[in-house]
Amino acid sequence: MSEPGREAIVRPEAFVARHSSRLSAGAEVLDVACGGGRHSMLLARSGCRVLALDRSPDRVASLAGAAVAEGLSIAAVEADVERMSLLPARFDAIVNTLFLHRPLFGEYQRALRPGGLLFFGTFTTDHADVLGQDRPGRRFLLEPGELRAAFPDLVVEHYEEAILDGRAMATLVARRPAGMTE
């Protein structure tokens, strides 16, 4: 794991690692477009039960294998998340990193249990405009301030827009208020 690029993909995002200790053992977590499953693995290792979705069969199979090898509670499922609808108040936490499909914003708010946490982080327009990167494409980049305003029913507990390690990202941790009903 000495290769810097590989390290960046495998290592969990700092904002997820920092705030994930707030989840109790047994918490039910959804990892959306999980990729290699770096956050699924982090959270399952701390006792969470994770549903990890990705449309890539290879990534799902690889994550399922890694979970079995470590005896972790991860259900890795091949799914197109752009077509999913989530049950209300279903998860204690939802993780969405390096993936952007704006119609899911409302789904995430509803699918969190009262007190549940959303971890969201992906690239901003600075990735193209300041860093000159042409991937991901423009429609997959967050506008300045967009992520902070995207979840009006949630309480924002962490928010940052920054350029770090060659990536321009917005990161957010937000909580569904305990008293909120459907």
CA distance 72 to 59: 16
Nearest position to ligand SAM, beta carbon: 35
What mask, x for binding ligand SAM by CB under 6 A, covers residues 137 to 166? ------------------------------
Q: How many residues does the chain have?
A: 182
**Smallest distance, Å, CB 99 to ligand SAM?**
5
Around Cβ 133, how many Cβ atoms within 10 Å?
Answer: 15
Q: What stretches of 14-87 show up as alpha helix (H) in DSSP?
A: 14-20, 38-45, 57-70
Contact 64, 34 (CB under 8 A): no
What mask, x for binding ligand SAM by CB under 6 A, covers residues 87 to 126? ----------xxx---------------------------
**Smallest distance, Å, CB 180 to ligand SAM?**
26
Whichever of 131 and 178 has its CB closer to ligand SAM, that residue is: 131
| Contact positions with ligand SAM (CB under 6 A) in 25-64 | 33-36, 38, 53-56, 59
CA distance 8 to 153: 32
β-pairing, 74-78 with 155-164? unpaired
Among 81, 93, 142, 174, binds ligand SAM (CB under 6 A): 81
